[in-house]
Structure 1
Amino acid sequence: MLERELFHQYGIVVNHVYRVSGGYLLQTVELGECILKRAETEREEDFPWYVLVSQYYNQQNEPTLLPMPSKKGRYIETIGNEAATLYQLPLKTRTIRESDGHRLALLHRKGGNLLTSYSELPEVQPWQMRWQRRIDQLEAYRVTLMQQEQPLREFDTLFIETFPYYLGLSENAIQYLVDAGIDAGVNPFDVKTLVFRRYNAQYIADTEFLLPSEFILDHPARDLAEWIRYKLFDENAGFDEVRSFIWDYHQRRSMNAMDWNLLYARILFPIAYVEAIERYYSEENLKEKQEIYHRLLNYVNHEGDREALFKGIFSELIGERGSTMRQIEWLTI
């Protein structure tokens, strides 16, 4: 029984249990309201940092779930035969409603202020290094598939036929970052704050409380690019909506030329394609593999629409700033 396990592991008395998306909402005597969530990508050694982030954001009026240790001092425990983490809900929720741009800029400023207190933070690995490693892995696996004797599956064929195009697109994005850093004479990733692992326009709107494990150290342009990618590619939003988002963000946190360079390169990199290939070949469930195949097929079939958006981003959003930025010839014709 869940209540018995929680008392045994955490020493708390649970009065009520409600199943919610991603876990259970608990009403407890000792801690008030809590959420029990399945631990997925979290690592035990990271939780002291998550606790610090949670405490800081709560002090900054950003309601954030607070990880709670078990009686053994661990943040990941086995509950109901699954690895899980207990989070205490903050006492208040955020009541101020702001635009996505204002909200994100404020989070970036607050996250940056927290980081200034630490003199020895880990370096942010440049995106181009991460991207190159993933692309090299896909290219090597494609060669393996082409050399195998057994018949290819539909997905294998799709991957083999489409990869050269997305390899070229990736190389454009990687070279764009390298050249931008050379032109500026600085490491753009010296600028960092707390950003989301994968931010989109729905995240803050649909999330009552922030989850500390969703934050990583990276350049602020990561979140900007993911918001724009989500809006333009997934929701088919217009450039007016994206312009308003950028303007609202810029009012709270000024964007410089390097921000624009990183933003454009990140939008250009075909992360959805790369992740689909990676997920398919690591997935064991046949139904899920088939769904990934159909999603990738749909993605590839809409590549022409995305090319038009790449061109539009440069002309509609970057505009006059483009005169001081490197241009990708085939996207400015």
Structure 2
Amino acid sequence: MLQRLINQLYGIHIQEEFKHGPYSACQDQNNLYLLIPVGAMEEDSVIELERLTSHLKQYGDASVCQFLKSKDGKNIVEWEQSRYCVLAKASSETRPLKRLGRKLAKFHYRGRAVPFEIRNINRIGMWKTFWEQRLNQMENVWNGQIMQSPENEFERLFIESFPYYMGLTENAIQYLSDTELDDQPAFVDSGTVCHERFSVQTWGDSLTMKNPFDWVFDHCARDLAEWTRERYFHNIKTYEPAVRQFYQDYATITTLSSFSWRLVYARLLFPLHYFECIEDYYITGSEQQRHVSEERLKKYLDQTREHEEFLRDFFTLAEVPTRRYQIPEVEWLKR
């Protein structure tokens, strides 16, 4: 499909089609092309993403994908009753990513210099609302479950474990609220280009690709916390050296403020792993996927003590000057 689409709507002749991550992709001598389904995404959001790619490219980021205009000058094209964008990236760069923390800090630095207002993909100041909504939705499900006997092991574990994770979520919301009340943002706390969920895999390995459809406009703490969360759960026994090095590398470009560190910690306190596990179970219609969710939940509950130690020791691991910055700790984690 992609070959015909690229040929007819963009006038580019491609011989081979393949998968690049979740996307259909193809390549010519100069560029790699990705086909991005945009569904019902508003055109204004796509325009914002295109402006951000141009800004980052202008500021020296060569690994950002660029929007390809169709033959009639459009960003969004329609093909077989669906809407798509095509992204292009020069395919010459094949160096593996090193010192990811430093590269992310440069990315954030460039993103803070955006000279225009971001509206559609802006997430600044919205964490508390999102967390409260998610907590209320899950509490409603839980209330429905406790009125009846659990039908299986997953439901029993959910009924028993939710009060603990509700408390942890309330801790995260309170920590965030206290930060916004007690601390003052610095320049480093300005909004920047971030990712929905930043991880080791986000930019690829041998070919560094920064896909604008991964982006939101938010505080840099979002990317830092989500990378850290992913590394911790990737292997709870061996995460420490990678996390320590990541923050050391980030600090070679950017010094985080106390406000930044407190936002990172608030986001780590929010038990996203638990929410996603429960949500995945109830959303899927597949018994196999439900079994996977049940095994994940059992693992998370078995690792509760290790997770508490991770939260307790995070500031020490990341070498945060908590006394100088007067960063509060969560008292019950210290016990």
TM tier, smaller: 0.7 to 0.9
Q: Tell me the distance in 1 between the aligned counterparts of 2:218 and 2:46.
A: 18
**Runs (5+) with no aligned partner, structure 2:** none
Q: 1:238 to 1:96 in 2, by over 3 A?
A: closer
Q: Tell me the distance in 2 between the aligned counterparts of 1:57 and 1:120.
A: 14
Q: Tell me the distance in 2 between the aligned counterparts of 1:3 and 1:123.
A: 36
SS for the counterpart of 2:113 is: helix
Q: Tell me the distance in 1 between the aligned counterparts of 2:181 and 2:141.
A: 32
Q: Tell me the distance in 2 between the aligned counterparts of 1:77 and 1:252.
A: 42
2:155 aligned partner: 156
Q: In the TM superposition, what are the counterparts of 1:213-224 in structure 2 within 5 Å?
A: 213-224=213-224
1:265 aligned partner: 266
| Partners of 1:64 and 1:90 within 8 A in 2 | no
| Partners of 2:199 and 2:227 within 8 A in 1 | yes
Q: Which deviates the most, 306-315 or 66-75? A: 66-75
Matched, 1:199 2:198: yes
SS for the counterpart of 2:24 is: strand
1:302 aligned partner: 303
2:51 aligned partner: 52
Q: Which deviates the most, 209-218 or 140-149? A: 140-149
Q: Tell me the distance in 2 between the aligned counterparts of 1:35 and 1:316.
A: 38
| Partners of 2:169 and 2:269 within 8 A in 1 | yes
1:88 aligned partner: 88
Q: Tell me the distance in 1 between the aligned counterparts of 2:118 and 2:23.
A: 35
Q: Tell me the distance in 1 between the aligned counterparts of 2:116 and 2:208.
A: 28
Q: Tell me the distance in 2 between the aligned counterparts of 1:234 and 1:89.
A: 29
- 1:188 deviates by 10
1:250 aligned partner: 251
| Partners of 2:189 and 2:220 within 8 A in 1 | no
- 1:74 deviates by 5.2
State, as a whole percentage, how many aligned pairs show the same letter.
Answer: 27
SS for the counterpart of 2:136 is: helix
Q: 1:43 to 1:287 in 2, by over 3 A?
A: farther
**Runs (5+) with no aligned partner, structure 1:** none
Deviations 1:203-246, CA, capped at 9 Å, x for gaps:
33525211011111111111111122222232333434322221
Q: 1:5 to 1:315 in 2, by over 3 A?
A: closer
Q: Tell me the distance in 2 between the aligned counterparts of 1:45 and 1:172.
A: 36
Q: Tell me the distance in 2 between the aligned counterparts of 1:53 and 1:260.
A: 26
Matched, 1:104 2:104: yes
Q: 1:186 to 1:288 in 2, by over 3 A?
A: same
Q: Which deviates the most, 208-217 or 186-195? A: 186-195
- 1:119 deviates by 4.8
SS for the counterpart of 2:307 is: helix
Q: 1:129 to 1:307 in 2, by over 3 A?
A: same
Q: In the TM superposition, what are the counterparts of 1:1-333 in structure 2 within 5 Å?
A: 2-8=2-8, 10-21=9-20, 22-27=22-27, 33-39=32-38, 42-59=41-58, 60-70=60-70, 73=74, 75-78=76-79, 84-90=84-90, 92-93=92-93, 98-114=98-114, 117-119=115-117, 121=119, 122=122, 124-148=124-148, 152-184=151-183, 191-204=190-203, 206=205, 208-236=208-236, 237-318=238-319, 320-322=321-323, 324-333=326-335
Q: Tell me the distance in 1 between the aligned counterparts of 2:323 and 2:169.
A: 20
| Partners of 2:168 and 2:271 within 8 A in 1 | yes
| Partners of 2:96 and 2:208 within 8 A in 1 | no
| Partners of 1:169 and 1:269 within 8 A in 2 | yes
**What is the Cα-based RMSD across aligned positions, in Å?**
3.0
- More helix, by proportion: 1
Q: 1:63 to 1:276 in 2, by over 3 A?
A: same
Alignment TM-score, normalising by the size of structure 1: 0.85
- 1:162 deviates by 0.8
Q: Tell me the distance in 1 between the aligned counterparts of 2:157 and 2:274.
A: 11
Q: Tell me the distance in 2 between the aligned counterparts of 1:234 and 1:51.
A: 33
Letter of the aligned partner of 1:275 in structure 2?
E
- 1:171 deviates by 0.8
| Partners of 1:64 and 1:210 within 8 A in 2 | yes
Alignment TM-score, normalising by the size of structure 2: 0.85
Q: Tell me the distance in 2 between the aligned counterparts of 1:33 and 1:231.
A: 29
Q: 1:27 to 1:96 in 2, by over 3 A?
A: closer
Q: Tell me the distance in 2 between the aligned counterparts of 1:96 and 1:201.
A: 12
SS for the counterpart of 1:204 is: coil
| Partners of 1:50 and 1:213 within 8 A in 2 | yes
- 1:11 deviates by 4.3
Letter of the aligned partner of 1:243 in structure 2?
R
